[in-house]
Structure 1
């Protein structure tokens, strides 16, 4: 049976949940700069930001 076509997995965990956020123009511009500088996606930037804040909250 042929393998399913579609978006390739991002990492080792399946991505099944979505979140939606509203941002102002300044925040969107900052996101675009981050994406271009790091050559990555919006999703990756958001995940990295969440990981960073989580670590700070845990004292890491």
Structure 2
């Protein structure tokens, strides 16, 4: 038998940090609508937003 583990291969950039934020219902609704329209997760939307703000600041 092989000693390799089954499952997903390890990620080059593991997502092992967690943040928690408080938002109002309107913001949560916008986040959910965006995630649904883009067929992605809330986390992906937040990461995309962080990248967008960071890129703007670098200009």
Normalising by structure 2, we get a TM-score of 0.81
Aligned residues: 56
Runs of 4+ in 1 over 4 A off after TM superposition: none
Q: 1:22 to 1:58 in 2, by over 3 A?
A: same
Gaps of 5+ in 2: none
Deviation at 1:22, TM superposition (A): 0.3
* CA root-mean-square deviation: 2.0
Normalising by structure 1, we get a TM-score of 0.80
CA distance in 2, matches of 1:12, 1:33: 30
Gaps of 5+ in 1: none
Larger gyration radius, structure 1 or structure 2: 2
